[in-house]
Chain A
């Protein structure tokens, strides 16, 4: 069973690619088979975080049918067990992917033969990003400890929910529920209203919706953490979100800000390799432990359910 972790978050430049790459390296070093997938179509740069100046092949070859299996464009990195599927060679228009192509990519990702599949997503809340984020039942939300980033994260959650609802309802049902919400509704209010509206017309569907949202899990990481920030911020967010949203929220940890991150990118070195004893590196390794535990728990559960 593979674990797919899309890494998203409203804002650009908060460290999604940095976190994806370094978590990937650490997971691979633990002996897991890992693949990084760069889905920041139009802004692909994940390969640079793994110390690669360029990659020869990638998603474009899968889309133009040069290869039929996405696994064939997974390029090995300098790290054992770690491959990357890049989109750096995709043409610029690829940012406006056709729905069918998007679906094809998602289906192929879900079949990739790896233990961990980390998806690096672009900024914003366009449908591509949201659909890639929803390709798994658990997504990692990245934020930084600033009001703007927190606001973006809550907006992202709202957008993810709305998209998820869209996937579950048919067009007519969706239209009727969106009529009852306003753009100003916050995420909490919006979901409550949607579920109420659906349940009123069709109690069974309402229940299904509630169940699906409940089964979805947001994991989140606070990046670029600084000493001056409230050390309990993540726990507080986790607590509030678990209280007010349907889904489960799981705080994975803080990753400290470190000047040397920038330096490592410049010198085209993998941060976690070059600076493995920094606070940020240790933060990342704690997160990796949690992810491995999570995968183990998932496996035990699936074994249990087959008995």
Chain B
């Protein structure tokens, strides 16, 4: 039996110490799917407080491991405490600017990302994106408009982000009854925003605030 407090962040997320940022994001999402309060797989297994502690630790692990500077400091700590061999320690992590869903395994995905990358450089797209991200409230329609302008199909997002088409439609149509709990939604929005090259933090916040106001 392992106690989550005894595990280091890599063990907690079940990723190797040389995991790419891509792998870390996926592992984080998988962990949330298991430990989230709505998750059937751990229903009643943990008392609420314990679950909260666990989720917090998963969150912390993610925040550290996804940030090259913080991760490097963390690795150094692990080396100092003898939990990581100096030889295992990476000097450079996989580049952070790489879109999260680029697996490199499929040429088609790369073509897709290239296409998007080129397209978002165009001035009218750029100004549309800036206009949207500057808003305090961001609706699903805003996201859809930008997606259409870039020329991305929902199927393409599904292919790279594995968010179901119906979920994507619910997001774009602000159908809050069809949306999942906040933890999942935030993750979906984040992936979606990243594919559109939007500042994901602002996009997620703007969307959630808008949704909250709509529900009132």
Chain A positions near chain B (C-beta within 8 angstroms) = 145, 147, 150-151, 154, 186-188, 191-192, 229-230, 232-233, 236-237, 239-240, 243-246
Contact = CB atoms under 8 A, between A and B. Distances in A.
Nearest to B41: A236
Nearest to B14: A239
Q: Which of A151, A237, A245 has the most CB of B within 10 A?
A: A237
Contacts of A230: 40-41
B1 interface: yes
A246 B40 contact: no
23 contacts: A147-B40, A147-B43, A147-B44, A150-B41, A150-B43, A151-B43, A154-B43, A154-B45, A186-B44, A186-B46, A188-B46, A191-B1, A192-B1, A233-B41, A236-B34, A236-B42, A237-B41, A237-B42, A240-B34, A240-B41, A243-B1, A244-B1, A244-B2
Interface residue SS majority, chain B: loop
Interface of B: 1-3, 33-34, 39-47
Given A154-B43, A186-B44, 20 more contacts: A151-B44, A186-B45, A187-B45, A188-B1, A192-B1, A229-B40, A230-B41, A232-B33, A233-B40, A233-B41, A236-B33, A236-B41, A236-B42, A237-B41, A239-B34, A240-B41, A240-B45, A243-B2, A244-B2, A245-B1
Contacts of A246: 1
Q: Lowest 4 CB-CB distances: which A-B pairs, in order? A: A236-B41, A151-B44, A150-B43, A147-B43
A147 B47 CA distance: 15
Contacts of B46: 186, 188
Contacts of A192: 1, 3
A2 to B, nearest CB: 30
A180 B44 CA distance: 22
Contacts of B33: 232, 236
A151 B43 CA distance: 6
A151 B45 CA distance: 7
Contacts of A151: 43-44
A236 B39 contact: yes
Q: Which of B1, B34, B43 has the most CB of A within 10 A?
A: B1
Q: Which of B3, B40, B45 has the most CB of A within 10 A?
A: B45
Contacts of B44: 147, 150-151, 154, 186
Contacts of B41: 150, 230, 233, 236-237, 240
B40 A150 contact: yes
Contacts of B1: 188, 191-192, 243-246
